[in-house]
C-alpha cells in the first residue's frame, strides 16, 4: 500500500526491515511491477519479427580503465525498427551496462539494475563490490529465464572500474548467458548478432596499454566490421549524424564520449576504409 492509499502514511512494507535488494522488495510487495517475471501464456512464443531487438555491443580494457560501446540499430526481423537506440547506460558512477536482445525488457532491466545498486548503497552505506554487482545482475537475468525461453531474451554486457584490483587490471568485463550464467572476460568481449565479427576485429586490433583514442578507434573499427557482415548491426550513419555510443569508465567515473568526438573518430575511420575496405592490419 502506498502513502496515498493510506492517508499519506507510508505502508508497513516501507517501515519493516528487509534485504538490501530492491528487486526482492518489489517481488515481495509489488510483483506486478517486475516486467522480467511476467510469463507469456503456455505455448506462446514471441515472434522475432514483431519485437524490436538490439544487436551488437562490445567492451575492451585500455590504459586508464575500460571502454564499452554499442551500435545504434534495433531490428524487427528484416526491418530496421530504430536507428538511434541507446544500448549503453551507466549503472552507477563506476559501472556501465550494455545490452543485446529484446529492447523493451532490456531497458526495464537496466532501469531496475540502476535502482538496485542505488538502493543497496543507501541501505548498506557502502557501494557494492564489482563482483557483487556482476552476481546481482546475473540473478536478475535468471529471473527472466521464462520469457527468454519464449523468445524474449536479454543479454547484457557489464563493465566496471575496480579500484581494489591490481594495477593494469582495474577495468573488468563480465558477460552472461540467458540463464544467468556469469563469465568474466579478459581484455575484450562482444555480444549480439554481430559479435563474432566484432570479436574477430578486436583480436586483430586489441593491444594492452592503448590510450583512450586508440581504444575508441578499435571499438569503432570492430563495430564497422560487425555491420559489414551482419545486417542487424548498424554502422556509423554519417549523413544522419548517428554514431555508435562509446563510453569509458576510469578512476574518475563513467564518461560518455561527446558526440563531436565520436563523430570525428567515425569519419576518420570511414575515410580510412575508402582505401582499406577490410580495415587496418594488426598492430605489431
| The three cell numbers locating residue 80 | 530496421
Among 86, 103, 26, smallest CA distance to 234 is for 86
| The three cell numbers locating residue 190 | 562482444
Burial of 97 (0-12, 13-18, 19+ CB in 10 A): buried
Q: For 157, phi and psi rounded to 5 degrees?
A: -130, 125
The answer to whether 75 and 233 are in contact (CB under 8 A) is no
Residue 55 falls in the annotated catalytic set:
yes
Sheet with strand 253-256: strands edge to edge? 188-191, 57-62, 65-70, 245-250, 253-256
Sign of CA pseudo-dihedral 85, 127, 170, 63: positive
Name every residue whose Cβ is closer than 8 Å to that of residue 271 and which is 6 or more positions away in sequence.
none
Residues 148 and 105: their CA atoms lie apart, in Å, by: 10
The answer to whether 216 and 270 are in contact (CB under 8 A) is no
The answer to whether 25 and 19 are in contact (CB under 8 A) is yes
The answer to whether 195 and 205 are in contact (CB under 8 A) is no
The answer to whether 57 and 205 are in contact (CB under 8 A) is no
Residues 90 and 21: their CA atoms lie apart, in Å, by: 19
Residue with grid cell 549503472, as numbered in its chain: 91
- Choosing from 55, 75, 159, 233, the catalytic residue is 55
Q: Please give the positions annotated as active site.
A: 55
Amino acid at each position: 500500500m502506498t502513502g496515498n492509499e493510506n492517508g499519506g502514511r507510508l505502508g508497513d512494507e516501507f517501515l519493516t526491515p528487509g534485504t538490501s535488494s530492491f528487486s526482492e522488495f518489489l517481488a515481495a510487495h509489488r510483483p506486478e511491477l517486475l516486467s522480467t517475471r511476467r510469463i507469456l501464456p503456455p505455448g506462446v512464443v514471441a515472434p522475432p519479427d514483431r519485437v524490436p531487438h538490439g544487436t551488437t555491443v562490445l567492451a575492451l580494457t585500455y590504459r586508464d580503465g575500460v571502454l564499452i560501446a554499442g551500435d545504434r540499430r534495433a531490428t524487427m526481423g528484416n526491418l530496421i525498427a530504430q536507428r538511434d537506440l541507446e544500448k549503453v547506460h551507466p549503472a552507477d558512477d563506476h559501472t556501465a551496462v550494455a545490452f543485446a536482445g529484446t529492447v523493451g525488457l532490456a531497458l526495464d532491466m537496466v532501469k531496475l539494475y540502476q535502482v538496485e545498486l542505488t538502493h543497496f548503497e543507501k541501505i548498506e552505506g557502502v557501494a557494492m563490490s564489482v563482483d557483487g554487482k556482476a552476481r546481482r545482475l546475473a540473478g536478475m537475468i535468471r529471473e527472466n529465464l521464462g520469457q527468454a525461453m519464449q523468445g524474449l531474451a536479454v543479454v547484457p554486457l557489464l563493465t566496471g572500474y575496480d579500484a581494489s584490483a591490481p594495477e593494469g587490471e582495474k577495468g573488468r568485463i563480465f558477460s552472461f548467458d540467458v540463464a544467468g550464467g556469469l563469465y568474466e572476460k579478459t581484455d575484450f568481449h562482444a555480444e549480439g548478432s554481430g559479435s563474432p565479427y566484432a570479436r574477430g576485429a578486436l583480436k586483430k586490433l586489441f593491444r594492452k596499454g592503448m590510450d583512450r583514442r586508440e581504444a575508441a578507434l578499435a571499438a569503432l573499427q570492430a563495430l564497422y566490421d560487425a555491420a559489414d557482415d551482419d545486417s542487424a548491426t548498424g554502422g556509423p550513419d554519417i549523413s544522419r549524424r548517428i554514431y555508435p555510443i562509446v563510453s569509458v569508465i576510469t578512476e574518475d567515473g563513467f564518461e560518455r564520449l561527446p558526440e563531436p568526438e565520436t563523430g570525428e573518430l567515425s569519419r576518420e575511420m570511414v575515410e580510412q576504409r575508402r582505401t582499406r575496405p577490410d580495415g587496418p592490419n594488426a598492430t605489431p
